[in-house]
Every structure is written in C-alpha cells, then in structure tokens.
Homo-oligomer: A and B are copies of this chain.
Amino acid sequence: MKALSKGKASTIYEVAQRAGVSIATVSRALRDSDLVTADTRAKVKAAAAELRFTPNRSGRALAEGRHAANGIVFPDLVGPYYAEVVLGYEEAAAAVGSSVLILATHGRADAAAAVQELAGRVDGLAIMGQTVGDDVVRDIAATGLPLVLLARAPVAGVDTISTRNQRTAGQLTEHLLGHGHRRFAFLGDPAGSPDVAGRYAGLAAALRTRGLVPPPPVPCGLDLDSGERAARDLLAHPPDAVICANDEIALGVHLAAEQRRIHIPGDVAVTGWDDLMAARFAHLTTVAQPMRELGAVAARWLHRRIGERTARTDGRTSAARRRVLPTRLVVRRSCGTHPSEVHK
C-alpha cells in the first residue's frame, strides 16, 4: 500500500489498477450495480477507500448528461427573506439528491450573463423576483431547462410559485379600519415587484370598498435604511397608519419614530410584511409568509420536471403550473390597541 501522493485527487483508473479490475467494473461496483460479484465489489471499495477516491463530478456529469445540481437565483442579500427561501430550497433539493448552486444578482447589469452561465451548470433553476428580465427567462426556458419562477410575475409556459398578497392585504386593511384608522400611507414601490403591487392593490381595493380614497404609494426600497429614510419625511405629518411593503421598512419606520419620540401605535400605527424574527420583538403587526416552503416547493417541482424531461423522448411536457401559497395576518401591538379588535 503505497502512500497517497498529496495534491492530486485519484481517478477511476488508479482504483482499477489497485483493485486489479477494469474501470468499468470500478464504476459498477462503486454505484452498487448488481452486475458485479460481492467479492469484486468489496475489493473495489477497499481500493477506493485506500486511495480516498471520490469520483470527479464533471466527468460523471458529462457522461450522464446531467449535473445532479440545481440552482437558485435571488436578487439581493439584504435581510433574512431570501435566506429563508434559499435554505428551504437547499433542504428540499438535498432530500432528492441534488446539489444546490446559489447566485445573487445584486441588481448587477451583467446579471443575465451570470444566470445564463449558471443555467449551463444545472439541471433546473429557480429564479426569484426581479433578477432578470422576461427575455432571459424565455431564452432559458427555450433550451428546455426546467425552470420555476418565485415571487415574480409569470412568464408564458413557465412554472410560477408566489404567495398570497392581495387578499391578505385586504384583511390587514380591514383590521386597521376596525381600529378606527382612516388616513393611510403605503410605503413601498408597486412598480418594483409584483408582491408589492399585490399588497398595495389589496389595500386600495379594501379602502375603495369602504368608500375611501387610497393614498398614492410612497416609493421606498425594501430595506431597513430605506424605511427609516422614508419615515423621516412621512412622520413630519403622521397619518393614522403606515402600511409598509415589508418588515424591514416597518422596522425602519419604528426606528425613525423612536427618534422623533412618536409613539407606536399611540400616535401612528405601523404594519409590515414577512414576519421576520425581529418583527416579533418590535411587536410589529405583519403578515407571515411561508418562505421556507416557497423554496421547498420550488425544489420539488424542479425535481419532477427534471424527471419528466428525461422520461419523455418527445419534447412535450405538461402545462405550466401556478401555485399561490397562503399567507397569514399576525396581529401584534403596532397596529393599535383599541378594544374594537375583531381579529383575536
């Protein structure tokens, strides 16, 4: 047993030589094919262990025509939202034997190229939010690569998973109206994402039902700092309630209010969206989304699509799927303390 030469990974040829068999037999034995005798298998596995052999995945991927890896693309890294989705995705992908590649686009101009390059490394791809344009999505879909869109406006022929926005935003609005609030502000940019658009639409619809005029949205980034900055202006003349497009914005408002010694909910009600861990400790009324589940469903759908793809010889696949995951209103103190609360 000669020692390992440090610095280079061993190949199937070395294992074959050491075990005294052919590379074909090594390949079979290591993958527990029943085309080898138990004896040979043991011999091969011993040799592989001695050499600390791990098959080079590029070689295998090329030979098998598949990567055994999926990718997920998300726009940005700020805040826990995307992290949760990615982790749900990883968990589900690992469960079906797929490695996971991640890509953050950071709103970079060359995002499209990076996504295209990623597409060449994986068997399936999940694309979140506003990372790349519809044209890129269509191009990739046209290659036949299984794709699923997350929290993003649908593209013809591509699977899409999102979370319920409009209806729950309506519930939230009703709840605030129940507190007696009438003058609202909305912090967030409906043009920036379909999620924010849905939340604003839900607010607007609920107000109109009550004969109230919806406020124009106040455009705002989805991070804490943007929320704090936007709030500095807004709180000069506080409305009854500030509905924020997500928790980070709401937490920013919280900080700005603290600085101005404006009391929440006494002087102004504030709500968020996402139910981040921090929301609980800021006593923020918000909407909980199944972020982990969002990622997990995406991974499972891709797995099935990949299976379909290899199963069929013709190009046909089943129709594009849609799914909207339910969200849930989480009432805490920030929306008001009036006894008129209906939701308990």
Contacts and interface: CB of A to CB of B under 8 A. Distances in A.
Interface of A: 4-10, 52, 54-59, 61-62, 67, 69, 77, 79-80, 83-84, 86-87, 90-91, 94, 99-104, 106, 114, 116-121, 139, 142-145, 224, 251, 254, 276-278, 280-282, 309, 315
A246 B4 CA distance: 42
A233 to B, nearest CB: 22
Contacts of A315: 5-7
22 contacts: A4-B142, A6-B142, A6-B143, A6-B315, A8-B143, A9-B120, A10-B143, A54-B117, A55-B120, A56-B120, A57-B120, A62-B62, A77-B91, A80-B83, A83-B87, A90-B102, A94-B104, A94-B114, A101-B102, A102-B102, A276-B278, A278-B281
Nearest to A118: B99
Contacts of A9: 120, 143-145
Contact of A83 (B54, B83, B91, B278): B83
B54 A116 contact: yes
B100 A6 contact: no
